[in-house]
Amino acid sequence: MTETTLPVASIGRTAGYSRPAIHFAAKDTWLNDPNGLVHHNGIYHVYYQNNPYGNVWGNMSWGHATSSDLAIWVEHPVAIACDATEDIYSGSIVIDQLNTSGLGNPECPPWVAVYTSAFKEGTPHQGTQAQSLAFSLDEGMTWTKFAGNPVLTRGTPHFRDPKVFWHEGTAGSYWVMAVVEAQEQRVLLYRSANLREWEFLSDFGPAHATGGEWECPDLFPLPLDEDPDQVKWIMTVNVNPGAVAGGSGGQYFVGDFDGVSFRQDERRRSAPLQVGSRPVQLRDYDWLDWGRDYYAAVSFSNAPDGRRIMLGWMNNWDYANQTPTSPWRSSMSLAREVALRTIGGRPVLVQKPILPPSDRMQTVYVSTAPLTLDNEPTQLAELPWEGAFVIHAEFRVDRAARVGLVLGVQAPGDAADAQTLISYDVAAGELEVDRRDSGNTEFHDLFPSVESCRLILEDGVLALDIVVDGCSLEVFAQHGQASITDLIFPPAGTPVLTVFAEGGAATLLGLTVRTSFPQQMDATLATR
């Protein structure tokens, strides 16, 4: 094992929980769900649930940010603002190339946002949620609400979060909308020729996790094992509360969509497990992430090269309004490229985090020889405090009962040190993230937690890709077969990385640490 290839900057943090370097957070306001994910001319546009006037949920409007690489973000003025009649809840954007809506013209195809109007008291639609349109004729920078809103109402109070995409299939070509009746745990599918008039097609649900409201659905095709002749459809739907790690989380279903209905494949169920006091069957379902802080994830419908890229909100409604950052609160996850692979005889959604381009990453630590770990924790490196760092580690479990690594922070003076444990329990076949001693966990009694998921190793090798940025941790195991996303709020101090094996020897086959310091760049909005 040799030391660093480049000097490691170890910077004691003095104030505030760090802003993320490669995740999007608004400068000084609140955000939740990603909305209107669209790609155009090499630029990714992310709109998002935003409170332009504060850093707790409220005054819901669509904020707007752009990026060419999904790592460095520019924040723009609010795109669609709440007003006296409505809050602007979640939804999606399509670029209406053929001007089917008539809201633009063939030379200037309109961008059309389909969002949920949450109507306020004292207005004609009070007490209901319905789907509305806004359009932009300047590539997403400014927006006008459609005069004929709402375009789709059921007169019900929890009808929201439309995801619209263009579908070309055997039944014809048209717009499809997936939208939820949140309290009925149902995804409703509609179709339209012009985005203004919608015809009901079918519904899906309740199914699997139904312990809370269903929110922010998505529906998209993916080839199984990269075979274009075996296309499956993925229905994703978020549930709050009642997700696998508690509170908010996203589940997915694999099946087929014929242009009218989504049908879930028959699933082979493993025997139910008893895990703590949690409802056992939750762990038997398919989850986008097994941590506490990955919610409202939706995909870009038009990412380049046929890629399917998802983005989630890194928080949990259990404590989202109390997370201890200021003046901003909450950030997005890293964008994740998803694919469908057969694993253990069934299709599994695998996820690869999209990292900054390599010229924006610097390798600060690389191990060169396998290292035997035998009950003595081995401290490898001090880590930079500022910026994001990305760890790739491979362990062979050999005779160990547990292997893993510790993200520690040595606090100065009498202040308590902190540590977050990422480990694999060999007998249980489970990956675990333990944030109970990760630093400030007291701001909410539901925050201290241990997350876990089942993970099958190949040849006894555990491969982990870990992204730590500001106050978040995203762990991808076995090249994206499972992920655990958790917020952490460590104290000021020196971050150190330690690896360990317990109950027998294991081998660290290799480990690298890379950092990325890109600032969020915005001429008008200073970010740090």
The smaller minimum CB distance to ligand FRU, of residues 159 and 447, is found at 159
By CB under 6 A, is residue 257 in contact with ligand FRU? no
Binders of ligand FRU in range 24-63 (CB under 6 A): 32-33, 49, 60
Smallest distance from the beta carbon of 127 to ligand FRU, in angstroms? 16
The smaller minimum CB distance to ligand FRU, of residues 183 and 372, is found at 183
Smallest distance from the beta carbon of 268 to ligand FRU, in angstroms? 31
Amino acid 225 reads: D
- Tokens 């001007």 appear where? 99
Binding ligand FRU by CB under 6 A: which of 96, 161, 382, 474?
Answer: 161
By CB under 6 A, is residue 216 in contact with ligand FRU? yes
By CB under 6 A, is residue 472 in contact with ligand FRU? no
Q: Which residues neighbour 483 within 8 Å (Cβ) at sequence distance 6 or greater?
A: 288, 289, 290, 291, 294, 336, 351, 474, 475, 476, 477
Count interface residues toward ligand FRU (CB under 6 A).
12
Q: Which residues of 149-166 are buried (b: 16+ CB within 10 A; e: fewer)?
A: bbbbbeeeebbbbbbbbb
Q: Which residues neighbour 114 within 8 Å (Cβ) at sequence distance 6 or greater?
A: 91, 92, 93, 94, 131, 132, 133, 151, 162, 164, 177, 195
Contact indicator for 418, 411 with CB cutoff of 8 Å = yes
Q: Which of the following is catalytic: 33, 87, 289, 465?
A: 33
The smaller minimum CB distance to ligand FRU, of residues 57 and 165, is found at 57
How far is the C-alpha of 91 from the C-alpha of 34, rounded, in Å?
A: 9
Contact indicator for 150, 126 with CB cutoff of 8 Å = no
Contact indicator for 492, 14 with CB cutoff of 8 Å = yes
How far is the C-alpha of 455 from the C-alpha of 425, rounded, in Å?
A: 10
The smaller minimum CB distance to ligand FRU, of residues 87 and 474, is found at 87
The smaller minimum CB distance to ligand FRU, of residues 174 and 319, is found at 319
The smaller minimum CB distance to ligand FRU, of residues 296 and 482, is found at 296
By CB under 6 A, is residue 86 in contact with ligand FRU? no
Binding ligand FRU by CB under 6 A: which of 51, 116, 333, 420?
Answer: 116
| Helices vs. strands in the chain: H and E counts, helices first | 0, 33
By CB under 6 A, is residue 179 in contact with ligand FRU? no
- Tokens 């580690």 appear where? 393
The smaller minimum CB distance to ligand FRU, of residues 51 and 66, is found at 51
Binders of ligand FRU in range 369-428 (CB under 6 A): none
Q: 152 forms bridges with which residues in the sheet?
A: 131
Contact indicator for 222, 234 with CB cutoff of 8 Å = yes
By CB under 6 A, is residue 434 in contact with ligand FRU? no
The smaller minimum CB distance to ligand FRU, of residues 48 and 476, is found at 48
Smallest distance from the beta carbon of 64 to ligand FRU, in angstroms? 16
By CB under 6 A, is residue 215 in contact with ligand FRU? yes
How far is the C-alpha of 119 from the C-alpha of 5, rounded, in Å?
A: 58
Signed CA dihedral, 272, 274, 280, 284: sign only: negative
The smaller minimum CB distance to ligand FRU, of residues 188 and 506, is found at 188
Amino acid 506 reads: A
Amino acid 13 reads: R
How far is the C-alpha of 219 from the C-alpha of 235, rounded, in Å?
A: 5
Smallest distance from the beta carbon of 63 to ligand FRU, in angstroms? 12
By CB under 6 A, is residue 237 in contact with ligand FRU? no
- Is 305 one of the annotated active-site residues of the chain? no
By CB under 6 A, is residue 239 in contact with ligand FRU? no
Which string of x and - marks every residue 282-321 that binds ligand FRU (by CB under 6 A)?
--------------x-------------------------
Residue 313, helix vs strand vs coil: strand
Tokens of 259: 């242009």
- How many Cα atoms occupy the beta-carbon half-sphere of 483 within 13 Å? 34
Binding ligand FRU by CB under 6 A: which of 23, 64, 160, 336?
Answer: 160
Binding ligand FRU by CB under 6 A: which of 44, 89, 111, 447?
Answer: 89
Residue 220, CA distances (Å) to 63, 240, 251 in order: 25, 22, 14
* Nearest residue to 330 via CA among 49, 53, 40: 49
Binders of ligand FRU in range 64-83 (CB under 6 A): none
Active site residues: 33
Chain residues in the site for ligand FRU (CB under 6 A): 32-33, 49, 60, 89-90, 116, 160-161, 215-216, 296
